[in-house]
Structure 1
Amino acid sequence: MTSVTIVVRYFAAARAAAGLEEEKVQLAAGATVADAVAELRRLHPDGLPRILDAVSYLLDGVAVRDLGRALTDGAELDVLPPFAGG
């Protein structure tokens, strides 16, 4: 396999900045979460890069602590801005 396709889902301010709820992103095989984030910055250069500096990520429902984590074909990457509340 020479590439992986992931589904990126945007929430709250990230959704507004990207202008969509979700999209499929194709990356080279062996790509990491960091590679996906770099591609999102390239795809949405106007408002999303600023948001991406403050977000957290879920990969297939699990919090991502290491952006070097490898992506698999069909993975879901959720982009979650900080939420206010208590």
Structure 2
Amino acid sequence: MAEVELLVRYFAGAAAAAGTDEEVVQIAVGATAEDLLAVLAGRHPRLVPVLEVASLLADELVVRDRTAALATTAGRRLQVDVLPPFAGG
């Protein structure tokens, strides 16, 4: 099965929970945001509560449907940002 390489960037509380600001993840072509979140939760159990409320951006576009495919073509790197809710302003 073909795979897509994702650069996952974590911000604020998500970075603290993951223990890193970014990492590279491989997922299958056609995998959904939910699939990616399951992989991330498996790697970083402390990240689970953050992922439940976080916003996701895929190549700077808001991911509104977590059941839709993130990437439909292999061979290019997709950037996914994990943004927890921010307080203040």
Calculate the TM-score normalised by the size of structure 2: 0.87
Deviations along 1:29-84, one digit per CA (max 9) or x if unpaired, are 21111111110001111x10011111111110011100123223411110000011
Aligned-residue identity in percent: 52
Between the aligned partners of 2:62 and 2:30, the Cα distance in structure 1 is: 20
- Structure 2 match to 1:81: 84
Between the aligned partners of 1:75 and 1:31, the Cα distance in structure 2 is: 12
Between the aligned partners of 1:24 and 1:44, the Cα distance in structure 2 is: 14
Moved more, 70-79 or 19-28: 70-79
Q: CA RMSD in A?
A: 1.3
Structure 2 residue identity aligned to 1:5: E
Between the aligned partners of 1:68 and 1:82, the Cα distance in structure 2 is: 21
**8 Å contact kept, 1:4–1:71:** no
Counterpart of 1:48 in 2: which secondary structure?
A: helix
Counterpart of 2:77 in 1: which secondary structure?
A: coil
Structure 1 residue identity aligned to 2:42: R
- Structure 1 match to 2:5: 5
Equivalent residues in 2 for 1:25-64, closer than 5 Å: 25-45=25-45, 47-64=46-63
Structure 1 residue identity aligned to 2:12: A
**Number of residue pairs the alignment of both structures matches:** 85
Counterpart of 2:69 in 1: which secondary structure?
A: coil
